[in-house]
Chain A
């Protein structure tokens, strides 16, 4: 018997089969997509980024204070003219540079990068200076460092007002 019906692009069976595969494929894509999204949390529990350090008078001129290194990963440097905070994250691969008072430098234990006391790199593989953190005085005249505000020298950000807190010591007007 001759079939006079016009040829169809897809038969009923084709439509059903392909719909089933499309549904399965879409479900798999949705599952994988949901899993990938799950790996990027919406909320992270982290401590406040603003750290109150107390009175500036507690730091002696010339001091490189590692008091906050373990808890907040920065060091506070007291110069005659004022304060700045250096992030204790090596710009090479992220270890913690330690202040060596005898050699007047920050030394990274992982691959030997060295930084001057102002944070500028001068030896080892580190490609750029340590980063500074925003520093200011609050209403009660306490030092406050904001670990969320990261300032890079090579971007000219060290000339910003919050990169250095002028606080002349008694002997240096």
Chain B
């Protein structure tokens, strides 16, 4: 868009309050013309993520399965419910398990929030895989979208890591041993794991990559705290940043792929 003032600035009587609010939100006079529709989207921060034009094929559910959008929706559900859970849950061995029990049996709407978080998280892992499958089946990973495929693989990895770190937080036997098993695999990593091939000299159970994850040689209070921070701060921030790049690339590459758009810079 050019830097010219939006076409709403025309002579006339001062607008009423409602009209002024609508205008300051939309920044465009609400006259239903194709040009004004485009401008209304382009000129507001709330709608600028949305494409100004959506091809007919891209809203066909059978083409996209809605998987990318549903993945993001589920991510938002886990963020909102997760923040709610953070008001109750304390990541220490003394409190963690009891706080989860408190959520389930004591805190009003605690069980609802916890189960929404849990089911949205499970569904997110499934839907992200479905999204990957759909992108593969429709050939949407081809040029010019190959970079966005790579970004998507990164987001998939982050989704898995979020799922894994959240697994420890209920602090029951299942999470304890699942994370013991999972992090013991890290001990077998080449070079940086003390039981792995080409382990660096001087590496032991107390200073290798597993110790970095766990804060010690076994799953204990330090591991719980580290997984909590990864789960609630580091990984969601990384996933959010990755989503920004991912969505931006979709727009830059001419919207989502569609019939006859697989060529470079293609448009239907």
Instruction: Mark A residues whose CB is within 8 Å of B.
Output: 39-41, 44, 93-95, 110
Closest A residue to B216 by beta carbon equals: A44
Chain A residues with Cβ under 8 A from B181's Cβ?
Answer: 93-95, 110
- B interface secondary structure, majority: helix
B188 to chain A: closest CB distance in Å? 9
Q: Is B215 an interface residue (CB 8 A)?
A: yes
Chain B residues with Cβ under 8 A from A95's Cβ?
Answer: 177, 180-181
Are B180 and A93 in contact, CB atoms less than 8 angstroms apart? Answer: yes
Cα(A167)–Cα(B261), bound, Å: 81
Cα(A82)–Cα(B71), bound, Å: 61
- A interface secondary structure, majority: loop
A109 to chain B: closest CB distance in Å? 8
What is the interface residue range for chain B against chain A?
10 to 19
A to B contact number (C-beta, < 8 Å):
22
Query: Contacts A40-B207, A44-B206, A110-B177: A93 and B212 contacting too (C-beta < 8 A)?
Result: no
Cα(A122)–Cα(B59), bound, Å: 57
Cα(A110)–Cα(B181), bound, Å: 9
> Apart from A40-B212, A94-B180, A95-B181, what 10 extra A-B contacts exist at CB < 8 Å?
A41-B216, A41-B222, A44-B206, A93-B180, A93-B181, A93-B185, A94-B181, A95-B180, A110-B177, A110-B181
Cα(A94)–Cα(B206), bound, Å: 15
Cβ-neighbour of B184 out of A39, A40, A93 (below 8 A) = A93
Instruction: Mark B residues whose CB is within 8 Å of A.
Output: 177, 180-181, 184-185, 206-207, 211-212, 215-216, 222
| 6 A-B pairs (CB sep. < 8 Å) | A41-B222, A44-B206, A44-B216, A94-B180, A95-B181, A110-B177
Chain A residues with Cβ under 8 A from B185's Cβ?
Answer: 93
Cα(A64)–Cα(B184), bound, Å: 27
Closest B residue to A109 by beta carbon equals: B177
Most buried by B among A40, A44, A94, A95: A94
Chain A residues with Cβ under 8 A from B177's Cβ?
Answer: 95, 110
Cβ-neighbour of B211 out of A40, A93, A94, A110 (below 8 A) = A40
Are A94 and B184 in contact, CB atoms less than 8 angstroms apart? Answer: yes
B219 to chain A: closest CB distance in Å? 9
Query: Contacts A44-B206, A93-B185: A39 and B180 contacting too (C-beta < 8 A)?
Result: no
Cα(A44)–Cα(B207), bound, Å: 12
Chain B residues with Cβ under 8 A from A110's Cβ?
Answer: 177, 181
Chain B residues with Cβ under 8 A from A94's Cβ?
Answer: 180-181, 184
- Which 6 A-B residue pairings sit nearest by Cβ, starting from the closest? A93-B181, A94-B184, A93-B184, A94-B180, A95-B177, A39-B212
Cα(A41)–Cα(B215), bound, Å: 7
Cα(A39)–Cα(B222), bound, Å: 10
A154 to chain B: closest CB distance in Å? 13
Most buried by A among B181, B185, B211, B222: B181
A90 to chain B: closest CB distance in Å? 9
Chain B residues with Cβ under 8 A from A44's Cβ?
Answer: 206, 216
B104 to chain A: closest CB distance in Å? 25
Chain A residues with Cβ under 8 A from B216's Cβ?
Answer: 41, 44
Cα(A94)–Cα(B214), bound, Å: 14
Chain A residues with Cβ under 8 A from B180's Cβ?
Answer: 93-95
Chain A residues with Cβ under 8 A from B211's Cβ?
Answer: 40
Chain B residues with Cβ under 8 A from A40's Cβ?
Answer: 207, 211-212
Chain A residues with Cβ under 8 A from B206's Cβ?
Answer: 44
Closest A residue to B222 by beta carbon equals: A41
